[in-house]
């Protein structure tokens, strides 16, 4: 789903000007060498739609529903109870509360989700995730999940790549879930996807070996964990960062330094007609953007289209 390297779906606003001027400065005389042109982006709500719930949450919760059908006793506790009752409000609220600093419900939900695809190989998980992303549809936008990618952000990734930037995704969602489509949707290879992950276990299988998924959390790539994971993977401080929620605050802060300013982009969901209009779970990062002069991307005002 790559573009021609231009920002065709971006209106001629101050936001587009800020992006172009930063890139021209970074690539012009006295700018940055290509190895220092590192850009990082969140995924859910930044590169593709995250409402009414993140796409991977739907993927995992469908499996939770299958588990509840096989064992009805599970429905006496969360998250099986919410899935069985189709209580999507509880599920979405758990994620919103996380961005507001309360992980009580998220921990309960995670305890169930982590075991959803335990004891299968990494290749088996890839096949299941690929099938889901190829066939499942968004519940209200009337389009496949794979078509819920923000076209202007894909253009931005291509524009940066065309100007010598290396783009990474740093997502709070599952690393292995996104890796199966990152190249196809964003032009970003799997090795440049950083994200949350479960522990993997090596097991011998005859003359070969297998990596098996477990029900134990390896890392939750959100908040302060994002800069740590970005540095661990890249060995460089990014100069461009894009996010949309409080969990992206530290990643945005990490982009650039006092003597080498970075481009911090915050996607604002303010278009109820073409997507959704909400700021809950983004209040802290929006306040920081206003006080620090970060670049806020208005879906309504800055994009001529939302989806391709």
What's the chain's length in residues?
308
Q: Is the dihedral of CA 129, 130, 133, 134 positive or negative?
A: negative
Which tokens is 294 given?
Answer: 């970060």
What class is the 14-48+143-197+217-302 domain? alpha beta
Q: Which of 253, 261, 239, 241 is nearest to 36 (CA)?
A: 239
Q: With CA atoms as reference, report the closest residue to 124 among 68, 206, 49, 63.
A: 63
Report d(CA 216, CA 227) in Å as an integer.
22
Tokens of 112: 């169930």
* Contact by Cβ (8 Å): 56, 173: yes
pLDDT tens, residue by residue, 121-159: 999 999 999 999 999 999 999 999 999 999 999 999 999
For the chain, the average pLDDT equals 93
Q: What is the pLDDT of residues 63-110, one digit of tens each?
A: 888 888 888 888 888 888 877 777 777 777 887 787 788 888 877 777
Look at the pTM and tell me if it is higher than 0.85. yes
Give the mean pLDDT of 279-297. Answer: 96
**Section 47-66 average pLDDT:** 91
Q: Is residue 16 pLDDT above 70, yes or no?
A: yes
61: which 2 tokens? 């919760």
- The Cα–Cα gap between 19 and 21 comes to 6
Q: Return the pLDDT at 100.
A: 80
- Looking at the chain, the number of H-run helices and the number of E-run strands are 13, 8
Q: What is the pLDDT of residue 4?
A: 61
Q: What is the pLDDT of residues 207-240, one digit of tens each?
A: 899 999 999 999 999 999 999 999 999 999 999 9
Rounded Cα gap, residues 168 and 78, in angstroms: 34
Whether residue 1 has pLDDT greater than 80:
no
Please check the confidence at residue 55 and state whether its pLDDT lies above 60.
Answer: yes
Write down the domain spans for the chain. 14-48+143-197+217-302, 55-116
Predicted pLDDT of residue 89: 78
């Amino acid at each position: 789903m790559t573009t021609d390297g231009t920002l065709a779906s971006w209106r001629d606003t101050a936001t587009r000007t800020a992006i172009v001027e930063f890139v021209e400065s970074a690539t012009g005389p006295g700018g940055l060498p290509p190895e220092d042109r590192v850009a990082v982006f969140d995924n859910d709500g930044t590169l593709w739609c995250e409402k009414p719930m993140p796409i991977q949450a739907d993927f995992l919760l469908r499996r939770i529903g299958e588990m509840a059908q096989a064992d009805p006793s599970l429905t006496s506790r969360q998250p099986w109870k919410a899935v069985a009752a189709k209580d999507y409000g509880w599920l979405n609220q758990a994620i919103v509360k996380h961005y507001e600093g309360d992980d009580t419900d998220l921990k309960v939900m995670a305890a169930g989700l982590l075991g959803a695809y335990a004891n299968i190989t990494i290749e088996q998980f890839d096949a299941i995730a690929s099938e889901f992303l190829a066939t499942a549809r968004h519940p209200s936008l009337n389009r496949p999940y794979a078509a819920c990618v923000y076209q202007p952000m894909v253009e931005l990734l291509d524009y940066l790549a065309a100007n010598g930037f290396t783009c990474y995704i740093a997502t709070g969602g599952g690393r292995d879930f996104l890796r199966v489509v990152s190249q196809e949707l964003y032009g970003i290879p799997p090795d440049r996807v950083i994200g949350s992950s479960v522990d993997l276990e090596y097991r011998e299988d005859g003359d070969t070996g297998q990596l098996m998924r477990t029900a134990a959390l390896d890392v939750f790539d959100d908040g302060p964990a994002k800069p740590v994971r970005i540095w661990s993977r890249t060995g460089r401080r990014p100069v461009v960062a894009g996010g949309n929620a409080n969990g992206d605050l530290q990643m945005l802060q990490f982009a650039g330094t006092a003597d080498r300013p970075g481009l911090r982009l915050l996607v604002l969901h303010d278009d109820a007609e073409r997507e959704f209009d909400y700021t809950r779970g983004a209040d802290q990062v929006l306040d920081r953007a206003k006080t620090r002069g970060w670049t806020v991307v208005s879906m309504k005002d800055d994009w001529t289209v939302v989806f391709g």
